Amino acid sequence: MLRSFSDEALLALVARADPEALGVLYDRYASAIYGLARRMGFDPTTQEDCVQEVFVRIWNKAGSFDPKRASGRGWLLAVAHHYCVDKVRNQASRPQALSVYPDDDNHPEAFDLPGPGLDEEAALNRVRLARAMGFLKPEERQVLEALYYQGYTYPDAAQVLGMPLGTFKSRVQKALQKLREVLREA
Amino acid sequence: MKLEEARQNLALYALGALGESERQEVELALERYPELQEELRQLQDVAAELSLGQAVPPPPPLRTRVLAITQPKPPRRFGWGALAAAAAMLVLVWGGWQAWQWGPWIAAFGDPDTKVITLVDLERKPCGRFILRQDGQALIWIRLPPPPSGKTYQLWSVDGSTHLPMQTFEGQIFTFAAPQELQAIHITEEPDGGSQFPSVLRAVSN
């Protein structure tokens, strides 16, 4: 029955310590979290640890979710991303993030086709994002890559990419706005 | 942080690219300029797509491992030392003249059939204890902020999905006779005088 509930309703139930609701959220988002950890370059054991720790946080912090401030999906995946970013920043040796670009031959596995375990919706999400990223200029993809998948703070990313801070910030804004528009039309 | 500066930082916030102090500044600005919240919500949804578009199914056994976190922990066994200290503290706090009132409770602490259950708030942080004696007498000690004006806290006996209204209460410690069907308790915030149906949940038995 809970499978038809919205993310927001499930989070309200998780805040009341409902294990079944957490199970439904796991089925909806574990693939995205696992895939994010993989994309950020963690080894398979750490990828699993990331999923586990993120769901511990969701179980413990669901009471702080405010549906007026964020969508359930946005909140859940922000929790996941914050966890992975903190982990990247705390590692002595920064993991090498995989590449998202289809024309990048260095890490072909980063853009592999959906495997047999990937459900239809997840497969569509992959294709949709890859296409949307294709509409961005290389330098726009580059800033999103450095911030979201490599986990740099923006001053560090600007330094790594050799850009003045002001230019970097406005490029990030433009890139995210453009991605929003492209995804909306997709 | 001014409105325009905060707006310029929203994309960086949504991408998790701010340091801790800047993150807090943006959060303060969001309180001050609520009009930014919808903008942030949309940017966070775009950022979520950057994760959704990477989905890869995890190994199936991981699901069982992850969901094990929802299993209740085994009841904590109290050592005699802790029980004696708690009993002594009760006596000291409430004064000698009240000690007779708590005598049965002090004895109950040594009874292995006495149930001691942790109460947790909505963030699942422990906020009190529910102690149930074998004879059905119950004691609650709970630490909650004072209820807002015109509101009170109310106790509910929970039997499956049914909430049975019980007493309203003030203060941190009180006793009551537990109904036989009691399986769990909830504590809610209600209008003065209490309610027939629960309104705002504040604490539950773990």
Q: Which helix (H) or strand (E) holds B68?
A: none
pLDDT of residue A108: 37
Strands (E), chain A: none
Task: Supply the DSSP string of B82-122, one letter for each residue.
Answer: HHHHHHHHHHHHH-GGGHHHHHHHHHHHT-TT-EEEEEEET
Q: Which helix (H) or strand (E) holds B175?
A: strand B173-177
**With an 8 Å Cβ cutoff, are B17 and A172 in contact?**
yes
Most confident range (mean pLDDT) of A11-15, B74-78, B170-174 is A11-15
Measured between CA atoms, the residue of chain B closest to residue A54 is B66
% of chain A with per-residue pLDDT over 70:
85
- pLDDT at residue B195 is higher than 50: yes
**With an 8 Å Cβ cutoff, are A32 and B55 in contact?**
yes
Band of residue B137 on the pLDDT scale cut at 50, 70, 90: confident
Q: Which residues of B113-132 are buried (b: 16+ CB within 10 A; e: fewer)?
A: ebebbbbbbbebeebbbbbb
- pLDDT at residue B69 is higher than 50: yes
% of chain A with per-residue pLDDT over 90:
71
pTM score, whole prediction: 0.64
Measured between CA atoms, the residue of chain A closest to residue B10 is A173
**With an 8 Å Cβ cutoff, are B66 and A30 in contact?**
yes
Measured between CA atoms, the residue of chain B closest to residue A72 is B45
| Alpha-helix runs per DSSP H in A40-164 | 44-61, 72-90, 120-134, 138-144, 154-161
Chain A residues whose CB is inside 8 A of the B71 CB are 19
Tokens of B85: 């200290």
ipTM value: 0.88
- Matching residue, tokens 């340091």: B19
